[in-house]
Copies of this chain bind each other. A is one copy, B any other.
Amino acid sequence: MLEEIDIANPKTKNEYLDYYKRIRTRTEELAEPLEKEDYVIQAVTDSSPTKWHLAHVSWFYEAFILKAFDGGYKPLNEIYNYIFNSYYQDVGNPFPRPKRGTLSRPTVNEVYEFRKYINDSMFNVLENVMDNETLRTLTVLGGNHEQQHQELMMTDLKHNFGSNPMFPAYKRTKTLDTKDAEPVPNMTFIQFKAGVVEIGHQDSGFAFDNELPVNKTYLNEYRLANRLVTNGEYLKFIEADGYTDFRYWLSDGWDVIRRDRWQAPLHWHKINGEWHTFTLSGMKKLNLNEPVAHVSYFEADAYAKFVGKRLPSEGEWENAAIISGVRSTDGNFFESGYLHPKAVDIGRANEGKEVLQMYGDVWEWTGSAYLPYPGFSVLAEGVSEYNGKFMNAQWVLKGGSCVTPIDHFRTSYRNFFQSDKQWQFTGIRLAE
């Protein structure tokens, strides 16, 4: 897995070409199981059509690399700059996000032609301007950007399929075979010392601007759960009428669950009296030992209050990950092929002293608002809108999920969503 990490940070021209090709190819592999119709739709505003993702990540190279580094570059179609811009005001007014699913054209085939056109242009630039440092930086940024959208493609497809009363599967995996018979290790709380610690991206590899700079934060003594909260544990909250007891809920959350009549995590369905959950492999009976997923911050926070605990801060989480020496190679990321969170193997429990499931499975809500690190500065013009402008009313999530590409992940990675979002693989780790 060391190799994986290396390939995330290319150095030579060949490594850059390989890096670029590998990520581009992966994106298209993700779309292989789809019917053409599946590329087009957008079940909710939060999600985007698969063909939009395929084209948008290509547009990113056009807007920020090809136009800057290839004097002779001619866009394949000028209108794509409008349609496939996500939110970059700096390069023009973007097409309205909620309407992405109303465009049948360009067709899927035309989008693949666009991808090929961008690839040919990028190969050309990488061959010829490789020694420009900004180009190299932007190429890796473009790769990481595309990997983010690989993850979004999976979560958006899950939402699209899960909103269809036919509940089609994306692809059959081993997911459906899991049993909830074997017990999971008890939840224990592992102690960490108080003091000033350093968090943020520490090595020389790639990181987003929001992971920088390395910064000091003071932590009180704290204790972190050895594993994620399971479906079975969360079910007890539901069965104790947690969704109708205001005492557990933030005021804004209480408004949301009453307005939208939430009664369980997203993708949970009670069918003939039995709880099921929709997965990328289709509908299956709820496995009580798997980590609970698709809970909003409001639900994660309410559950923590229900059991008399709290969510960890991002500093606490990151410090625990560093100190414990857990390895991302152990994580259930996209590459494991499950595309669903996995129950802890009882054998792994190690007397409750090991911090398990830190990487992969589900993004873990922290109790930290998504704010700039002290000394934060945005990227260069053009891509300056990448992260900073979203630092309002969102929470940090840590650890990656079962659909995150493993070489896209870093311990310092800061994902962020608003309090009411459920459509990602998001789960709960407790602290106290």
Query: Which residues of chain A (352-378) have a CB below 8 Å from chain B?
Result: 367-369, 371-372, 374-375
- Report yes or no: B393 in contact with A104, Cβ–Cβ below 8 A: no
Please state if B250 and A390 are interface contacts (CB–CB under 8 Å). Answer: yes
A371 touches B367 (CB 8 A): yes
By a CB distance below 8 angstroms, the chain B residues around A73 are: none
Evaluate contact between B393 and A40: CB separation under 8 angstroms. Answer: no
Chain B hits for A215, CB < 8 A: 220
Residues of B within 8 A of A252 (CB): 392-393
Distance of A374 Cα from B369 Cα, bound (Å) = 14
Chain B residues within an 8 Å CB radius of A216? 218, 220
Bound-complex Cα distance A371 to B313 (A): 11
Q: Which residue of chain B is the closest to A109 with respect to CB atoms?
A: B35
- How many chain A residues sit at the interface, stated as a range, is 35 or more
C-alpha gap A391/B311 in the complex (Å): 13
Tell me which of A217, A371, A372 has the highest count of chain B C-beta atoms within 10 A of its own C-beta.
Answer: A371
Chain B residues, CB < 8 A from A384 = 247
Complex Cα distance, B104 from A108, in Å, reads 14
| Nearest chain B residue, comparing its CB with the CB of A168 | B105
Q: Which residues of B contact A51 (CB under 8 A)?
A: 37
A window 95-139: CB within 8 A of B: 95, 99, 101-108
Given A196-B218, A250-B390, 14 further pairs, Cβ under 8 A: A36-B36, A37-B39, A37-B40, A37-B105, A40-B41, A41-B41, A41-B102, A41-B103, A41-B104, A79-B165, A90-B247, A216-B218, A298-B392, A367-B372
Of the A-B pairs whose beta carbons lie under 8 Å apart in the complex, a sample of 30, sorted by A's number, is A35-B107, A36-B36, A36-B107, A37-B107, A38-B105, A40-B40, A40-B104, A41-B101, A41-B103, A42-B102, A79-B166, A87-B251, A89-B247, A95-B165, A102-B160, A102-B163, A104-B168, A105-B164, A196-B196, A220-B374, A247-B384, A250-B392, A251-B389, A251-B392, A253-B392, A297-B392, A298-B392, A392-B419, A393-B393, A393-B418
